[in-house]
């Protein structure tokens, strides 16, 4: 598969998104879409997501980030589209940033 059509999504999810399994929701959605990258809680209560793959699959992930798992309340998703790097081999949950 070529890298053509691939992109990187960097998103910061705001709202009631910690303590509601949001990161594991992101992990499950990314795995279903065969995306690579990571997600983590941030010290300020937000969740950060970096995902790479076909742009159309990243768009699907973004729609799902706006919804979140059942106990979450998403107020806003800050999105930054970046160039695909191919640096990840899978998708994982990272430790919280300090």
Query: Does residue 78 carry a catalytic annotation?
Result: no
Nearest to 85 by CA among 51, 60, 47: 51
Which ranges in 1-98 belong to alpha helices (H)? 22-32, 55-67
44 is catalytic: no
Which of 8, 41, 73, 92 is an active site residue?
41
Contact 41, 19 (CB under 8 A): no
Catalytic hit among 23, 34, 73, 94: 23
How many CB atoms within 10 Å of residue 47? 26
Residues marked active site are found at 23, 41
């Amino acid at each position: 598969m070529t890298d053509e059509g691939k992109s990187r999504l960097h998103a910061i999810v705001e709202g009631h998104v910690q303590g509601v399994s949001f990161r594991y929701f992101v992990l499950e959605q990314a795995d279903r879409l065969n995306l690579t990258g990571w997600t983590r809680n941030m010290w300020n209560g937000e969740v950060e997501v970096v995902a790479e793959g076909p742009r159309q699959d990243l768009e699907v992930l973004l729609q799902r980030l706006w919804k979140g798992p059942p106990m979450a309340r998403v107020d806003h998703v800050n999105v930054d589209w970046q160039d695909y790097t191919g640096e990840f081999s899978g998708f994982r949950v990272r430790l919280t940033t300090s």
